Structures are given as C-alpha cells and as structure tokens.
C-alpha cells in the first residue's frame, strides 16, 4: 500500500438513520480535492458494526466507484466471523478496491496464533491478488495478533505488506518494525502519535489512517508528506496547529449521576461526527447504540474547534470553501448546539 495519509471516512446518515448518499458523495469529493492519498470505507469511524451487510457492500461500492482513478480505496471487511470476512472481502475485490482492512476478531477472544491461522491466513488465501492490511487495536477488540505472528503472516503471504497499528504501544511498534523488516509498511492508527511514530527511527511508520483528516485532509496529508521527506520540524509545526483536534478522537469527562460520579467516555466516531455537525459538514447522527456526548464533552469539542479557528483559520478554510459554510457563525450558533448533547 502506498505511503501517505488515508482518511477513515465517516458514513453520513439522515436524521432518520438512513445512508445519506448525497452527503457521502460530497465528503468523498472534499477528500479528493484536498489531495488525500486514499479513503478507507466502512471502518470503525464509518460505523461498520451498525451496518447490515447489504448496506456495508453498498457503501464500499459507492466509494470504490467515486474514487477510481482519483485516490486509493481501502474497504473495511473485518469481522469476528472468518467466513463473513471472506465473503465481504471477496465482494470488495470485485468492486476494484486497492486493498482491505481487517480488524482483529473482536469478542471471541482468539489467541494471536488463532488470529493468524484461522482468520488472516484464511482471507489472504482466498484473495491472493488483493492487499490485506491487518488492523491491530486491542483496546477495541479485546484480542491482538502479536508482531511475531504478523511477521510470519507477511513471510507466508505476499499480499500482506502493511499494518494499521493502533495499539498505542511504542514497544509493540518497534518490535513490529524489527521483525517485519524495512520493506513492511506501518501506518499509524492514532492521530496523536503520527509524528512520533513516523519520526522514530526504530518504527519508521510511512503514513497514517486518520480520523481527523475527515475535517482537515489537506493539513494531515501535508504533515505526513513532510515526515516522509524527513522535514520533521515543519511537520511538528502542523501537528501543533492540529493538536486541539488530534487529542479529541476520544473525549472523557467526569459526570454527576443520580447515584454519584460517573466517568463518561465518548469514543470515535462520536466526537468527530459531533464536530462535523457543528461545522455543518455532511454527517448526521451516529447510529445506536452510540448517541450523543454530554454537555461537558460537547463543550470540549466546541472549544477545540474555536481554538483552531482563532489560531489557525487556514485549517478550517477548506471546509468553509467546499461546503459553502460560515465557520464563525456555525461555531457560535448556540441554538443549534443544544440538539447535539445530553446529560445524565
């Protein structure tokens, strides 16, 4: 898979919870216009766990068709059912995607050995001409293919040359590089760590599969390009400008319930889609069981957007231009904001 920045695209929904096809088309064009390397369809950020497989395939079909010849297309086809992952991957291959992202099987609790032998190898054998990208995110899945098994997988299957690394564990990433070798592509799956893992000589990530590039694709792409050119200081300047957003992929607040204090954790894509709704981008609500952030969480997201707009308005300028929005007016429309949060 080509080095660079890939957007894990949201799936926009109507207020009734149906796929917003016009909104999806607009988001794809926004990404392409802002020089994104590629788009990931139906990932975690795209709320794929809430899809029926017919919807899942439709979103892949639409994104693959619209991106063809314009940017790389990756389809999320992972599952905790290997047969289902094979079926989804085969469908994506027929649509002409450039690769698929397979998340480690969740909930079942397989060992690293089982994940490799009974899942990734099974899919890789069925689609030998398609790039297979393992997605390692134990905080979501409760299981993990370890670097040792990833290296064996890459040794045995020529279509496994990349990984999306979202463990948050620097030592795990260093071991991945050591075992998988220089020709293997490590993509950061954590926006806040992109600069660190690309600049680290023991990791040498070659890009990112990003969440916040949904809002700022041009600047995330530029940051990754600079890092691949060895221009670390210039990249760090962009990271500093983006940092209010990069640190809000997950928003944690302390809330007061009827029975005492509660820690409330709003996880991706809820903070992202909330910010996109604030800005007026195609987004719509998250699908249940995700809902809304608390007012405290919402205020953190709004404050981050206001800081970016005040300090570096050029970051949100492409959003304003492409979608014909008044960013300052959107950020201060308190009447519209009330519909985007709730409390205990």
- pLDDT tens digits along 107-131: 999 999 999 999 999 999 999 999 9
Which of 6, 119, 135, 292 is flagged as catalytic?
A: 135
Parallel, antiparallel, or unpaired: how do β-strands 251-257 and 99-103 relate?
Answer: unpaired
Q: Is 6 a catalytic residue?
A: no
Looking at residues 55-83, what average pLDDT do you find? 98
In the chain, pLDDT over 70 holds for what percent of residues? 100
pLDDT tens sequence across 177-213: 999 999 999 999 999 999 999 999 999 999 999 999 9
Alpha-helical runs (H) found in 181-267 = 194-199, 217-228, 232-246
Looking at residues 18-28, what average pLDDT do you find? 98
pLDDT at position 344: 85
Helix, strand, coil shares of the chain as percentages rounded to 5?
Answer: 50, 15, 35
pLDDT at position 214: 98
The answer to whether 250 touches 266, Cβ cutoff 8 Å, is yes
Q: Is 174 a catalytic residue?
A: no
Look over the chain and give the mean of its residue pLDDT values, rounded to a whole number: 97
Q: Is the pLDDT of residue 144 over 90?
A: yes
Which of 119, 164, 273, 292 is flagged as catalytic?
A: 164
Domains defined along the chain, listed by start? 4-240 (3.20.20.70), 251-340 (no CATH)
């Amino acid at each position: 898979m080509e080095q660079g920045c890939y957007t894990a695209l949201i799936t926009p929904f109507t207020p009734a919870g149906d796929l917003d096809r016009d909104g999806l088309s607009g988001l794809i064009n926004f990404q392409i216009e802002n020089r994104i390397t590629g788009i990931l369809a139906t990932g975690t950020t795209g709320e794929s766990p809430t899809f029926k497989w017919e919807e899942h395939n439709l979103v892949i079909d639409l994104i693959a068709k619209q991106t063809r010849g314009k940017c790389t297309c990756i389809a999320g086809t992972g599952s905790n059912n290997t047969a289902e992952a094979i079926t989804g991957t085969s469908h994506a291959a027929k649509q002409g995607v450039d690769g698929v992202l397979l998340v480690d099987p969740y909930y079942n609790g397989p060992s690293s050995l089982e994940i490799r032998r009974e899942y990734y190898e099974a899919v890789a054998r069925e689609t030998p001409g398609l790039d297979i990208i393992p997605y390692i995110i134990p905080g979501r899945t409760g299981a993990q293919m370890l670097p040792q098994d990833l290296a064996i997988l890459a040794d045995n299957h020529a279509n496994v040359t990349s990984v999306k690394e979202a463990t948050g564990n620097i030592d795990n990433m260093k071991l991945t590089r050591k075992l998988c070798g220089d020709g293997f592509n490590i993509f950061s799956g954590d926006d806040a760590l992109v600069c660190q893992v690309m600049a680290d000589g023991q990791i040498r990530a070659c890009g990112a599969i990003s969440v916040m590039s949904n809002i700022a694709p041009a600047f995330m792409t530029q940051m990754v390009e600079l890092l691949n050119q060895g221009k670390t200081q210039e990249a760090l300047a962009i990271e500093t400008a983006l940092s209010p957003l990069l640190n809000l992929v997950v928003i944690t607040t302390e809330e007061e319930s009827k029975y005492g204090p509660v820690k409330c954790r709003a996880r991706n894509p809820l903070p992202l889609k909330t910010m996109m709704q604030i800005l007026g981008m195609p987004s719509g609500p998250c699908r249940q069981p995700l809902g809304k952030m608390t007012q405290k969480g919402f205020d953190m997201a709004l404050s981050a957007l206001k800081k970016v707009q005040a300090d570096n308005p050029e970051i949100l300028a492409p959003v304003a231009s492409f979608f014909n929005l008044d960013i300052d007016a959107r950020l201060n429309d308190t009447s519209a904001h009330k519909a985007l949060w709730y409390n205990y």
